[in-house]
Structure 1
Amino acid sequence: MRASWSSLAAVMMAALAGSTVPVFAAPLGLPPVPIPADNPQTPAKIALGAALFNDTRFSADRKVSCATCHDPAKAFTDNLAVSKGFNDLTGTRNAPTLLNAAYMTTLFWDGREPDLEGQSKQPPINPVEGGLPDHETILRIMRSDPTYVPAIREVFEVEPAAVTITHYARAVAAFQRTLAAGDSPFDRYYYGGDKTAMTDSAIRGLAVFTGPGRCVSCHVIEQTQALFTDNRFHNIGVGFKRIHGKEEKIAAEFLVAKKGGADVDVAVLTDPDVSELGRFAVTESLTEVGAFKTPTLRNIDLTAPYMHDGSLRTLQEVVEFYDNGGRLDPGDPLSGFLSGGIRPLGLLPEQEADLVAFLEALTSPGVAGTPSSVLASQ
């Protein structure tokens, strides 16, 4: 049986009602969801995680929850260039979708957290996201809320007074691991054998994607599954012009601050220059300055705007960006900093149109959101 977001929501609601519901199967086109041994999935834990995910009390103004930036009605994004936190404060990066985040080998655009458990702890205490000074507000609510108290006893078999932020993180991560979205027209065409599932234009676009567009070199399609990401980091030129020529100075100053105890999570979301260091903030390797994680392309038509800084509004703009080789002339000194393969593609207008049609065919059934072309016209 194929799982969709709507069916997973039903699983969670049933769990809240005390029903016994089996763990769902991965949708067509995706592998089994990896589940850590120390955080097994249960319906009750998923339901608890869903409630925590939507709780706005875990923010300084009591208006911001995880769902504020990762809205189920917007394909678990917020359709903003960069996200807004408490008191409408803005950060420096675009909110990636949480759909299929369970398959990511690192989290955040720079991969600074290794798993969903680690990722879920950070936003509530970031000064431009949740704005809490520490996790104590979350723990106080979890230990006293009449809905959370019995759920905690059932899920973790501990008394509320013993609850830690690890319990919070494990429940939220368990919920996020249910957000597996496949079974798109592409999946039905490519893996299901339904040759009518995609339009002729999308089929031609698939040929561009795997051929002259060279998209598949980073947005991987395998024989039995497609995550549409290599889970690696690349400098494709987005935002790098901001720091080019002063990147080594910015990097050196950042390292001094980091070694002095500065919080990387805070630095990358509050300092626009540090944000553009990308993966360097984690690895401290100058070869990874400006490199960001390859995002999944699944449901991409619903997750505009695009790139780590939300600088591209539509799929057409994204295609043109790559076709132009990252908008850099081959002789531009900045081109030497780009990852290999970022160079002009020479696509024809009709190939670009077909490629957009293919990207639109990666939308899963039951995922709510607004197409990028509609968002751009609003």
Structure 2
Amino acid sequence: MKITNRFAIFAVVVVSLAGAGQALAADYLLKPGKEDHKWLLPASPVAPADNQVTPARIELGKALFFDPRLSSDGNLSCASCHSPMMGWSDGLPTAKGNKSKVLGRATPTITNTAYNTLQMWDGRKSSLEDQALGPMESMDEMAMDLTALFKWLNAEPTYKDMFARAYPGEPIDRTTVAKGIASFERTVTSSNSPFDRWLRGDEKAMTRQQIIGFRLFSDAGKGNCIACHHAPNFTDGGFHHIGLAAHDKVNPDVGRYAIKPVAAMKGAFKTPTLRDISLTAPYFHDGSARTLAEVMAHYNAGGVSKNNLSPNMKPLALSPEEASAIVAFMQALTTPAQPFVLPQLPFN
């Protein structure tokens, strides 16, 4: 019988996963094949024609992103929830907003969000520009009076100069503020993880256990993680009910259903990227998983809540060694940290 599916071959030749990833019978499975290259990200995210990324726009957006004066109390910036020290998230189960109000959803990382086609857990924003002012306008988050914000920005000499260089001839308003922040966010990317280096030919970039984890992750008959976490950014851009226990509570968060009232979307949330996932615990939209091991245990069990569960959610029957190998693979999706220089904010 002629077998052409690499993963079918993999299922036959894996003798044992005992000892967290030992004994692959075929060494070539430890090397990336042509079909694996689909996981390599494009060199840079696509930007809209009217907001191509330039150094001046990045500089402006970076200042706006880190400036707490864009909030009503002057103490909360975009970076307060999306911190470079916390994987561009905040390390909390769910976010804290205006006056430290505990919010209902976890802060998603902005890493590689420029590759997404929809933004926010429920997909209510269509682009980085569209979402940029959302937290400022929300009374639960930054609670900013935008009229007062634009008045101040137009009167601040350094910001006026920065806007003039970034968007010459355009007013300082919600459009250019959103464009600037989006331009900076397009620079927050991850594409040089051990997994990426392995794909590009560095055979020692990942351990044997991590490579086995990738094969299990990609195998529809085993981990089946690729049902939702597609190449190259480890997300399908879709929305799924994954069976979190919170869905069995009274008045649970309905997720995407609030935006698109279709029965299948009740309790469904956007598939997050897994890139830099080791930096962004806790996990899930409600922050209910503290570790990647807990994430795998949830999927291995097929979820907790069965009410309106996504058809992709089924018990996996992975052995402890197999689950550990997938966790090890996910840990190989983090790009090594590089020094990050905070902006010097305008102050006159």
Cα drift, residue 80 of structure 1: 0.3
Which residue is 2:161 aligned to? 150
Which residue is 1:175 aligned to? 184
Task: List runs of 5+ in structure 1 lacking aligned partners.
Answer: 1-27, 247-272, 329-333, 370-378
Distance 2:237 2:328 in 1: 24
Which residue is 1:317 aligned to? 294
Cα drift, residue 228 of structure 1: 0.4
Please say if 1:347 is aligned against 2:318.
Answer: yes
Please say if 1:240 is aligned against 2:247.
Answer: yes
Q: Determine helix, strand or coil for the equivalent of 1:38.
A: helix
Which residue is 1:260 aligned to? none
Which residue is 2:236 aligned to? 230
Distance 1:42 1:136 in 2: 27
Distance 2:297 2:155 in 1: 53
Distance 1:137 1:201 in 2: 55
Distance 1:193 1:54 in 2: 37
Please say if 1:109 is aligned against 2:86.
Answer: no
Distance 1:86 1:285 in 2: 32
Q: How much is the aligned-residue C-alpha RMSD, in angstroms?
A: 1.7
Amino acid in the other structure paired with 2:167: F
Which residue is 2:263 aligned to? 286
- Could you tell me whether the CA contact under 8 Å between 1:75 and 1:367 is conserved in 2? no
1:196 to 196, 204, 217: 204
- Could you tell me whether the CA contact under 8 Å between 1:30 and 1:182 is conserved in 2? yes
Distance 1:320 1:230 in 2: 22
Amino acid in the other structure paired with 2:203: K
Distance 2:105 2:118 in 1: 16
2:226 to 206, 216, 220: 216
Q: Determine helix, strand or coil for the equivalent of 1:305.
A: coil
Q: Deviations over 1:211-260 (max 9, x none)?
A: 20100111113xxxx210000111111231124xx6xxxxxxxxxxxxxx
Q: Determine helix, strand or coil for the equivalent of 1:283.
A: coil
TM-score for both structures, normalised by structure 2: 0.82
- Could you tell me whether the CA contact under 8 Å between 1:323 and 1:346 is conserved in 2? yes
1:184 to 190, 193, 196: 193
Q: Deviations over 1:302-350 (max 9, x none)?
A: 000000111111000000000000135xxxxx35x11112011001011
- Could you tell me whether the CA contact under 8 Å between 1:156 and 1:167 is conserved in 2? yes
Amino acid in the other structure paired with 1:170: K
- Could you tell me whether the CA contact under 8 Å between 1:219 and 1:296 is conserved in 2? yes
Cα drift, residue 166 of structure 1: 0.7
Amino acid in the other structure paired with 2:292: L
Bigger drift between 150-159 and 300-309 goes to 150-159
Which residue is 1:17 aligned to? none
Q: Deviations over 1:6-43 (max 9, x none)?
A: xxxxxxxxxxxxxxxxxxxxxx9211311111211111
- Could you tell me whether the CA contact under 8 Å between 1:86 and 1:130 is conserved in 2? yes
Cα drift, residue 150 of structure 1: 0.7
Cα drift, residue 86 of structure 1: 2.4
TM-score for both structures, normalised by structure 1: 0.76
Q: Deviations over 1:85-132 (max 9, x none)?
A: 221111111011101010110000000000011101110121221022
Which residue is 1:263 aligned to? none
Which residue is 1:85 aligned to? 97
Percentage of matched positions with identical amino acids:
42
- Give the 5 Å matches for 1:88-99: 88-99=100-111
- Could you tell me whether the CA contact under 8 Å between 1:206 and 1:355 is conserved in 2? yes
Distance 1:235 1:137 in 2: 40
- Give the 5 Å matches for 1:1-378: 29-31=40-42, 32-132=44-144, 134-158=145-169, 162-189=171-198, 191-211=199-219, 212-221=222-231, 226-238=232-244, 239-243=246-250, 273=252, 276-328=253-305, 334-335=306-307, 337-366=308-337
Distance 1:85 1:147 in 2: 28
Task: List runs of 5+ in structure 2 lacking aligned partners.
Answer: 1-38, 341-348
Cα drift, residue 300 of structure 1: 0.3
Cα drift, residue 146 of structure 1: 2.2
Cα drift, residue 367 of structure 1: 5.6
Amino acid in the other structure paired with 1:314: T
- Could you tell me whether the CA contact under 8 Å between 1:72 and 1:368 is conserved in 2? no
Is the alpha carbon distance of 1:367 and 1:302 closer, same or farther for their aligned partners in structure 2, counting shifts above 3 Å? Answer: farther
- Could you tell me whether the CA contact under 8 Å between 1:325 and 1:342 is conserved in 2? yes
Number of aligned positions between the proteins? 298
